Structure 1
């Protein structure tokens, strides 16, 4: 069951403050008397506090047979991972997950009410960073009386959140699991995020962010932004295998209502277009455009080495154990980036393993195909890097196949 807590005034990294930081969170399992079994889960970009279903709740999208629904992240987004007898076994672990500040699922963000005006904050909400998420989570744990975490686990930008825990609160964390992530975004992904934000802010219905209550929301801009992001979550091979050049019908009732040029009727509506339109439609029904602007900027801004000599220096105070988990088909955060994280931990003598999963699916594999991380994650939480299924095979997979001066990701657009 979701809980909502007010934690008092909060100053963000940018120097601005809000009078009341509110967080929505959920817990799963039984908390040990000595708090030795607490696992913090950090959600990905558009995820929420609702990691898994609790007994007696209705079925959610994550139960459907379409593997894309498991990546929607609105509700029960990691239900196959968290629960009794599952990878993060709630008969053993007490799991905490909170929606981060800046999002739109109950925690303080652009769509929440400014107590000083009685209106939604909109773009008056302070800019947020991954560091703000970490400090807000620490504030929540303080409220719950939890000092030390057995583990912090997260994927994608949630993995950046994990790394920030190791950097910012090294004495409060025993083990960290950084899944499908890296020390920072590269220039191409920064560019794609910039285009996605422009899709939102150039939508006439964005109204400088003050669209709440007007009956008009920047749905088309948000849909385009999500479509662009979704392409980065899948590999070239998986998209080609799944969709190819097949045609779809336009009268299925699925897909964002985008305008078409007159010549479009002559050409086929591709299956891949239908897929992106359908997922964009679902996304705009559940997510807020301003929140998307805020969260992508937080992800873009994160740099593990910022303020330090390098990544190793940033992680020098952490003396626990670390698992970096990468996917071979992921070009959003490559195996090479995962190996560089592992090297940063190794430079400090930290017990670390870089476990590489051979999967062509792409970045979203940890959400859409969570069985791929079951054994290594389960074993690492129980036994650390000595866990039976935990491999340290990152170096042999970490060759960067991109040409030295390639302007784009070869893994997305092909080797030529």
Structure 2
């Protein structure tokens, strides 16, 4: 049987042909390999160079290789964080004509690491919690897409830190199944496997001395399931908001923030019955919001201010006709952010008379106005527009605040 290459793009076969497919993967010469850390796998896995790309090559039987390749392509199409499938090679033989196992080729996820590499030095519990939250986010997103993983574990996940954000990526889809919708039983089975696998992997780390002494492996495995449950409930709870009741949406965002998650993406779908909202969560590190707001808008603020302004920006972008995440023809986030600064942020801040602002800078003023709008909207149980909030803030809040700052004189 001749060597056959099934590839996602036409340029990949030519690059892959340069590699020594006539040799078992364990026998590949060092000249072809890239020395990157590898996780634990039931299969032989190696990193190699193909042209300008670094690829991961996994040796396994033909049928599961083809199946996993198609599953990874499906996950890529629906926007799930997973390794990028490049090709499957079947019909391999050695120099004597004896058959060799097929291989699955994926693109190396730049900047990612397997969990054991991250634990080579004892990791702080707070960082561990962020990584586990990232894994909970991944599992929720997989389940929302109808994907039953079948083997959720740290070993089958790659972690990447990008500009302060923590993200988990599926790296092994061999045991997975894609369905139109998952039953509660399928989700609970995945969760039970995740709890057992993660606790076992952390026990191994504990035995090797690479786990922080304050971390209980069994409790940690249970906690990730609890985090999953709270996030699943907050994301899947069906709510249709009356048109214009955006303070209800803001309330949902605040609950996600309280759970320790940020909103990476939000979509609002308009209908006659009201507005339905879809959220995509992410896990962020300290200072992330400052860096992101500065990159998008040029506004240099404190972290809490930045989080609040980014939430407002995200909500505003979701109402714009040319906002379509993932669509290459849609307006870029930087373009929309510039429009928000020009059309929303600056006019709102300028509505507050300079003589009443005191020492507050523009970002602090806007943050205060958003908080005041939230307070008024909660009181009224209806969305209070920024214009109304600004007028009320100028009339009732700023005079009181400035009066309290006046120096007192002794009698």
Instruction: Report which of the two has the higher share of helix.
Output: 2
| Larger RCO of the pair (alpha carbons < 8 Å, separation 6+) | 1
Q: Which TM bucket (shorter chain)?
A: under 0.3
Instruction: Report which of the two has the higher share of strand.
Output: 2
Which of these two proteins has the greater Rg computed from alpha carbons? Answer: 2
TM-score for the superposition, normalised by structure 2: 0.24
TM-score for the superposition, normalised by structure 1: 0.24
